[in-house]
Structure 1
Amino acid sequence: MDSLDQTDKRKYISWPVIALMDFVTVIGFDDIIYNFQNQGLAVVSDWVMLLVLFVIPYEMMVGHLGSVFAKEGGGLSSWIRHTSGDKMGYIAAWCYWVVSLPYLVDVANSTVISFAWLIKGRALDDSEMSNWAFALFTAILFVLFIFFQHKFANSLQWLSIIGGGAMFVMTILFVIMTFAYLGEGRPIATQPFHFKNFMPTFDMKFLTSLGLLIFAMNGSEFVAPYVNEMKDGPRDFPKAMYMLAAMTGFLTIFGSFSLGVFFNAHKLPNDLKMNGSYYAFKAMGDKFGMGNFFLYAFIVTQALYMLAQLAVLVDGGARIFLSDTAKRYLPKQLTKTDKNGLPINGYWLTTFICSVLLFLSSTLPSVNDIFNQLLNLNGIVSPYVTGLLFWAFIKVRVHQEDYPSEYVYIKNRKFAIFVGWWCLIVTLTGATFGILPIDAKFGTSKWTHMLILNIVEPLFMIGLGIILPLIAKWQRKRDGEEA
């Protein structure tokens, strides 16, 4: 719980609360589903390996950077600005914001799907919703959220408490019910269920899915701006990162194992990424003779969770990007706020970019293909930006005399720099191989189509990030300000 300082009566956020807040943004039940379809039961060993060789170092680096820049409120963009200058700070802010937009589209898509399940009680087929109808419903959802955020300020933020808490409970419940199921001696869906099923396979499929694995486990820096709201941030923030790593490890490893109990890992549904969470809770209800109880409990939870994510991402993302650091590089129209202090034009820019991504992907053959391609786009763009975090850590350790820290991750400077470079190389490798489509057969027209989108869509986002500062520079010259 939050604590109250007796001297200045200020309310602080405790480190367990920070860990729980971060957990909601880092890992969810869907993240486990996505990678289970890519790797099957082998993903269990992938999670273990990544947890030790990547996630724990990554989250401890976040703890170190959070300790160094405990008084800064901009998170990654502040870290880059202080280590590499204002221009790099803008680039980091732009990249960090823009790469969240494919995820925002993914969340909006999932929200539409959750309502479809709520109404129909089953997965929709392509005859019930065309690609363009799917895109249109998602776009309408964006517009509605812009309206509500504008009219009611932050009134939707309470959804994050209910939705996030409920999702955590449902995911834990799934793991507990799995072991209860096994405790009754019931059959496992994956047959044969051998130890070798869990062994990792370091092939092209592993490399092309590595980016999505990293995407599933990154994001711990989202709560970095809250370090200065802790009573002793430099000391306690790293504790939150340890707790987060433990929670992430538990859910990814045991959650993936649980999926192998209820699904045949050797023959998975083609639409598992889009509908797998619902199939999982329906299967659990069927196995325990409880009908659709677990299914509808999850549908409601998923809808609330996705609405909460939408509210936070639309508002929070725009606020982070439109910070003081970035204003010099942005057209004046984007920096204006409404009477509630909300960056309304930033909301509309968000909607525009998301709509372009969505309608480009809607040229794919089916709704399932749209969902999978936009999901995998996250495994390309998000890890590239995570690489900036490792770069900031490397810079801090190279010049550690200029960046004192109460918490030091790896006291030996040379080894710390080596670990920073290791994480950076792993991240860039996963992002680069992620450009190759994993949900289509190599050589088919669909594979080529997805490959083109995986290249064109990131280039569109980069291009827009270049154009906006040029417009801002032209405006300053026009108004006689410093260029």
Structure 2
Amino acid sequence: MIEEKDKNYMGWVTLSMFVYLTVISFEDPFYPYQEYGLFVLVLWLFMLVFYQLPYTLIATQLGMAYDGEEEGGMSSWIRRGTGNDLLGYATAWMYWAQTIPYLIDCASSVVVSVSWVVLGNKSLGDKMSPLVFSLLTFAIVLVFIIFDNVVKNALDATSLWGGIAMVVMTLVFFVMIIWSLTHGGHIATKLTWDNIKPHLSVHYFSSASMLIFAMSGAELASPYISRLKKPGRDYPKAMWLLFIVTAGMVILETLGLAVLFDAKHIPNDFKMNGDYYAFQLLGQEAGMGNSLMYMYSIVCLVTLLAQIAALIDAASRFLASDTTAQFMPRWFLKKTKTGRPINSYIFTAATTLILVLLGGTLPEINDFVNWLLNLNTIVSPYKTSVVFVCFLILRYKHKTFPKGQYVFIKNRKLALGVGWWCFLLTFICATMAFLPQNGVVGSANWFKQLWMNIVVVIFLFGTGLVLPLLRKLEVARDKRKAEQ
């Protein structure tokens, strides 16, 4: 009774905001707007109804079906669904691997955000080399690894307030758009057929995974189900709130971007600086100078720091999960007194350093930022495809469910059809994304990014094979010692 009373519960709104921070950021709608123009509004609506909604509810069923008692999350789902511990380990590794590029992306965005606060403009690329930029990015990751291990309950506080702050800034953005239109502002990209119609090409399809990347991550909530006071009631509520906030954000932002920016003349550094351009334009139109941009920069900075804390915590917990004990050396699974997997944090830092140094070889900071985004649109959707594999396994093996358990689509055949649709769309888009989304096709820089994509993906996913080998050597050594 005392333990139940003293347990540190997480509110369902806090959980929703925590996941929201890692599912989509304010700047995420800027990326596909540069690639697709106003046609992206059609794509968002299609993806929200036919992909994001089923994805969120599939993650809800998986989380409730496996009750959240094991902290492995997705790796626990596949291990318990197949009875194969090796697949559980491989899934945990994939989850960790795909988190690293996103972690670096968030850290690099912190550097960009600070530069706007300090400089008040986009001149960062003129004052800093890509290598220095990459090293600063790594320094931020390192600081937060230490922060995440030292500050108690930092995750809850930063997630809640960071998420709320970004929702508020999204509303401010939309309100300022309305203010601009009612005070003589002009619409840069009007809602006409000429602006909405698609221009199909290989580039269109290779960029499609950008939408999936922007909306993926709902399964991140699953390891925290046990921290909810009433999981059966609160978890579905948290997931529905996640979907509603995500849907509202991408639709409102896309319409706002159409007001501010001509989709046919987007700045080359729009993915890196587009959100700052937006608030700068709105502030200047309202006679506020750069004050609105500075306000956004500070909120963005706080939100990014919250994202980094959440990603480091979640990635390390997935890696040192219930599926890994027999496939990783004991030293790797060592935990601190507070239950933190300390050596997996160190391993995360080392891998981050390798990737930022590789990115630092690109010609410009803008190239580095764009490459990180491209890399995320490969590895993140590959991870997401495993969520649908877990769902398919669950629905193939379980024809009946305990009374009261959450079920997404009770008709089994329809549920399997939706699961296969989501899996195939995700996997195909992730594979197409290996083609670089920036630079002139066939140029030296384009080919460099292509081989970087291939090498890094092989490195991130392939290094997972090394630890089981070390574990085998450890077991053999222990056996020899026991025999002596």
Considering the TM-score relative to the shorter chain, is it more than 0.5?
A: yes
Task: Summarize the Cα distance change of 1:446–1:393 in structure 2 as closer, same or farther, 3 Å threshold.
Answer: same
Q: Which of 237, 240, 259 is the equivalent residue of 2:238?
A: 240
In structure 1, the residue matched to 2:294 is 296
Please, what TM-score do these two structures have when normalized by structure 2? 0.92
What amino acid sits opposite 2:41 in the alignment?
V
* Residue of structure 2 equivalent to 1:119: 118
Task: Name the structure 1 match of 2:212.
Answer: 214
Rounded Cα–Cα distance in structure 1 between residues aligned with 2:420 and 2:100: 27
Q: Which runs of 5+ in 2 are unaligned?
A: none
Q: How far 1:231 moved relative to its partner?
A: 4.6
Shift of 1:144: 2.4
> Is the CA contact 2:41–2:254 (under 8 Å) kept in the aligned structure 1?
yes
Higher mean C-alpha deviation, range 67-76 or range 55-64: 67-76
Structure 1 residues 285-343: Cα deviation after superposition (integer angstroms, max 9, x where no partner): 01111111110001111111111222222233212211232122112221112344332
Whether 1:479 and 2:482 are equivalent positions in the alignment is no
* Percent identity of equivalent pairs: 39
Cα distance change on mapping 1:339 and 1:307 into 2, 3 Å:
same
> What is the CA distance between 1:140 and its match in structure 2?
2.1
- Partner Cα separation in structure 2 for residue 230 and residue 160 of structure 1: 15
- 3-state DSSP of counterpart to 2:336: coil
**Alignment deviations for residues 189-237 of structure 1 (CA, whole Å, 9 cap, x no partner):** 23x6524423444432321111111010010111112333335434543
> Residues of 2 paired with 1:471 and 1:87: CA distance?
15
Matches within 5 A, 1:19-34: 19-34=16-31
Q: CA deviation at 1:145?
A: 2.5
Contact 1:77–1:93 (CA<8 Å) still a contact in 2? Answer: yes
1:432 matched to 2:422? The reply is no
Q: Are 1:351 and 2:349 counterparts?
A: yes
Contact conserved, 1:157 with 1:311, CA < 8 A, in 2? no
Map Cα deviations across residues 14-39 of structure 1 (whole Å, 9 max, x no partner): 54444333222211111111121121
| Residue in structure 2 matched with residue 411 of structure 1 by the alignment | 410
Matching residue within 260, 263, 286 for 1:262: 260
Q: 1:157 Cα deviation (Å)? A: 5.5
Name the aligned partner's letter for residue 449 of structure 1. Answer: K
Counterpart in 2 of 1:147?
Answer: 146
Using the TM superposition, give the Cα deviation of residue 80 of structure 1 relative to its aligned residue in structure 2, in angstroms.
Answer: 0.9
Post-superposition offset of 1:466: 0.6
Determine if the alignment matches structure 1 residue 322 to structure 2 residue 340: no
User: Residue 231 and residue 342 in structure 1: after superposition, are their counterparts in 2 closer, same or farther (change >3 A)?
Assistant: closer
One-letter amino acid of the counterpart of residue 89, structure 1: G
Matched residue pairs, number?
Answer: 476
User: Are residues 466 and 366 of structure 1, via their aligned partners in 2, closer, same or farther at CA, if it must alter by over 3 Å?
Assistant: same
Contact 1:153 1:342 in 2 (8 A): no
Three-state SS of the structure 2 residue aligned to 1:480 is helix
1:452 deviation in Å?
0.6
Residues 16/125 of structure 1: CA separation in 2 closer, same or farther (3 Å cut): closer
The 3-state SS of whatever aligns with 1:325 is: coil
Q: Is the 8 A contact 1:235 1:406 kept in 2?
A: no
- The 1:447/1:302 distance shift into structure 2, 3 A limit, reads same
Cα–Cα, structure 1 residues 400 and 196, in superposed 2: closer, same or farther, change >3 Å?
farther
1:68-467 equivalences under 5 Å are 68-73=65-70, 74-84=72-82, 85-152=84-151, 155=154, 158-190=157-189, 193-401=191-399, 404=402, 406-467=405-466
Aligned mates of 1:155, 1:242 — CA distance in 2: 25
Deviation of the 1:155 alpha carbon: 4.4
Distance in 2, matches of 1:111 and 1:153, equals: 23
CA 236–341 in structure 1, closer or farther in 2 if over 3 Å, else same: closer
Q: Secondary structure at the match of 2:103?
A: helix
- 8 Å CA contact 1:42–1:201 kept in 2: the answer is no
Q: Which residue of 52, 62, 69 corresponds with 2:59? A: 62
Out of 147-156 and 109-118, give the one that drifted further: 147-156
| 1:117, distance to aligned residue in structure 2 (A) | 1.4
Bigger shift: residues 16-25 or 79-88:
16-25
Q: Deviations over 1:58-98 (max 9, x none)?
A: 11111211221124333211111111221111111110111
Letter in 2 for 1:397: R
Q: Is the 8 A contact 1:337 1:343 kept in 2?
A: yes
In 2, the alpha carbon distance for the partners of 1:457 and 1:9 equals 45
- Cα distance in 2, alignment partners of residues 423 and 366 from structure 1: 36
Matched residues in 2 for 1:471 and 1:346: separation? 15
State how far apart, in whole Å, the 2-side matches of 1:231 and 1:120 are: 46
Backbone CA RMSD of aligned residues: 2.3
CA drift of 1:361 comes to 1.8
Distance 1:172 1:129, change over 3 A: same
Distance in 2 of aligned mates of 1:234 and 1:315: 24
Which residue of 2 is the match for residue 3 of structure 1?
none
SS in structure 2 of the partner of residue 453 of structure 1: helix
* 1:418 maps to amino acid: G
Distance (whole Å) between structure 2 residues aligned to residue 425 and residue 268 of structure 1: 32
Q: Secondary structure at the match of 1:378?
A: helix
> Any gaps of 5 or more consecutive residues in structure 1?
1-6
**Greater displacement, 9-18 / 259-268:** 9-18
* CA pair 467-168 structure 1, distance change in 2 beyond 3 A: same
Query: Alpha carbons of 1:471 and 1:306: their partners in 2 closer, same or farther (altered >3 Å)?
Result: same
Distance in 1 between residues matched to 2:230 and 2:152, nearest whole Å: 31
Deviations 1:325-380 (A, max 9, x none): 21221122211123443322211111111111111122211110011001110100
Instruction: Provide the C-alpha distance between the structure 2 equivalents of 1:159 and 1:206, rounded to a whole number of angstroms.
Output: 36
239-248 or 349-358: which moved more?
239-248
